[in-house]
Structure 1
């Protein structure tokens, strides 16, 4: 259960605190029925993000034999499921959840949190995580990195050994 603390803090606790302390900044100032459309779009994006996070956690557990927790990382390189399309689908899922919250609540403070989280994480991938994965998984990760984009997903799934 402790492995869910990080995504829970990032997507629920911090946004809830921001909304609580800066409640005057909430809302787009639009009238119904446009409000309903905005909330629906935000909810769909959030649900897609949540599904992506769940799928990636499942891939880490079943294929990688580990978790998203730094103290129990996957022991095998995960290149199946959502990882066939992009190298960072778990964070992409969290980013979608945060973007959905920004859309639903129309809060500048949630927007700043979304941008901060996204920039810090993608920077960390480039300077911290990818070199570590290259060292841990060697040429397997190198091949994966050459074939699967970091941020924007491929159109078709990548399969190791297949051109």
Structure 2
């Protein structure tokens, strides 16, 4: 089995295990995917939820594909990429995969009018933020050195750039 094929299979498996549970199974368990009243009685919140879900799903697929095809690895820490991925959505924000997962959760919360899913989204974001600070950024800095440090200096962690970084 060649390296690219292993990366694709590993990324697909990890997609179903990690984001599938965090952004799919748990929101379903919390809400039963039942449509509750819109937040604050404001129906447009549902449309904003849809506006988070659609690009969130596309972004998640793009980031997983990019890790497998460009980085020849997976998002799983046990099978990381062979090279630093700084193309595609990674030119706009350092953590588009996490942004996508949180967008999916918050989109569901708004669409369904679910406070419990909204709280879950906040818990996931805080957990991911702490993971990025404590593990991921130091690991990437050690692994890729000046290349990652330059990237980190030019691309924000959570808020997208208005123009793609061309480093």
TM norm structure 1: 0.87
Asked if 1:78 corresponds to 2:85, the answer is yes
Aligned to 1:48: 55
Where does the alignment leave 5 or more consecutive residues of structure 2 unmatched? Answer: 1-11
Asked if 1:69 corresponds to 2:79, the answer is no
After superposition, what is the alpha-carbon deviation per residue over 1:1-50, rounded to whole angstroms, capped at 9, x for unaligned? 42121010011100111113x97x9322777xx64x44332112101101
RMSD of equivalent CA atoms: 2.0
Q: Distance in 1 between matches of 2:38 and 2:91?
A: 37
Where does the alignment leave 5 or more consecutive residues of structure 1 unmatched? Answer: none
Q: Return the offset for 1:128.
A: 1.1
Change (3 A) 1:29 1:38: closer
**Tell me, what secondary structure is at the counterpart of 1:7?**
helix
Aligned to 1:2: 13
Count of aligned positions: 155
Q: Distance in 2 between matches of 1:94 and 1:100?
A: 10
CA contact (8 A) 2:38 2:45 kept: no
**Tell me, what secondary structure is at the counterpart of 1:157?**
coil
Q: Distance in 2 between matches of 1:109 and 1:38?
A: 16
Work out which of the residue numbers 4, 24, 36 in structure 2 matches 1:26. Answer: 36
Aligned to 2:46: 39
